[in-house]
Structure 1
């Protein structure tokens, strides 16, 4: 994807703040669709709107928002690599966890959508010792429990502690993920996966831009 965001001058904190403000001009007023008749707080992906972020989630604050972009999927058992588009949502309702959802779609070489692809959803649950529990359910019948920690203020690393699957799901034995806010304020991640009898190896990666928050 072509990055058209303005870039800060190296070493200039004021410039970085200015660039972040400029980048937010198109996203600060947007949020998830809301149901006004809900009797409980709605999820928000915008830190300016809705309930305050719980103190327990402060280490995850940079992730809150909706992110959209492109990635690449590879594996030793498939022809590839293949391009995909993706939208990731990190939202909260004021309680000590983040709701997470990722929706993907396959792209051809020209960037045209071929069909919907992988979906996953779950919760990121930060703990008092800085551990983060991540529970994910996939549309393919796989469920994963990750444990991880922040590497620093803008990156987070996880590995599976347990994997469960239905009788019709593909064999998956483990996964590792690294998420990070990169220098221009975008969200990037890489994932390694052990499945279908293969050892842990690169599987997906993506670079996403903020569209909400």
Structure 2
């Protein structure tokens, strides 16, 4: 093809395909969709704060991976605070791999486990890249009673693993 010929556009899934879940994603398919809620944060080196948050989990039925986006805002003004995106890859043995890039240019590579019956996902950082202070993170997600919640812990150069964020969501 020359530079003037447009590239072929990949076929878009039919509406019926959107409801099909890849078998590799099925154990954590309860995450799929858009969630909105509120959270609280704090750390020994910063003041406590509250925030609004939206999570979005999506996937294509041909791939055993979930795409993830997140954004937060100040409750008082709606001003954006933080954003991140990445991919979640559950494995048949109950393990999961997650990669997240944050708007601050920090990158997390997390590994962990999921329990499909209890609907709990536990993640531990394998690598926190491009971070001058953050050395380790953990994230625990739980789905219970129609609500999704998480707790994030963080360790820095001067602080051991300490609770940092907590939020709960309802599906839109």
Q: 1-side partners of 2:33 and 2:17: how far apart?
A: 11
Q: 1-side partners of 2:12 and 2:120: how far apart?
A: 28
Q: Is 2:150 the partner of 1:182?
A: no
TM-score with structure 2 setting the length? 0.86
Q: Is 2:133 the partner of 1:171?
A: yes
- Cα distance, 1:39 vs. partner? 2.6
Residue of structure 1 aligned with 2:29, choices 61, 82, 88: 61
Q: Is 2:95 the partner of 1:131?
A: yes
Residue of structure 2 aligned with 1:203, choices 137, 160, 164: 164
Q: After TM superposition, where is structure 1 displaced by more than 3 Å over at least 4 residues in a row?
A: none
Aligned to 2:10: 39
- Cα distance, 1:209 vs. partner? 0.7
- Cα distance, 1:148 vs. partner? 0.9
Residue of structure 2 aligned with 1:150, choices 114, 130, 150: 114
Aligned to 1:83: 50
Change in Cα spacing, 1:98 to 1:76, as seen in structure 2 (3 Å) is: same
Q: 2-side partners of 1:207 and 1:51: how far apart?
A: 25
Q: 2-side partners of 1:71 and 1:78: how far apart?
A: 16
Residues 34-69 of structure 1 show CA distances to partners (whole Å, capped at 9, x for unaligned) of xxxx63446x9xxx7615111011111111110001
- Cα distance, 1:198 vs. partner? 1.4
Aligned to 1:22: none
SS in 2 for 1:140: coil
Q: 2-side partners of 1:119 and 1:85: how far apart?
A: 12
Higher helix share: 1
SS in 2 for 1:113: coil
What RMSD, in angstroms, separates the aligned Cα atoms of the two structures?
2.0
- Cα distance, 1:114 vs. partner? 4.8
- The answer to whether the 8 A contact 1:159-1:177 is kept is yes
Higher strand share: 2
Aligned to 2:4: none
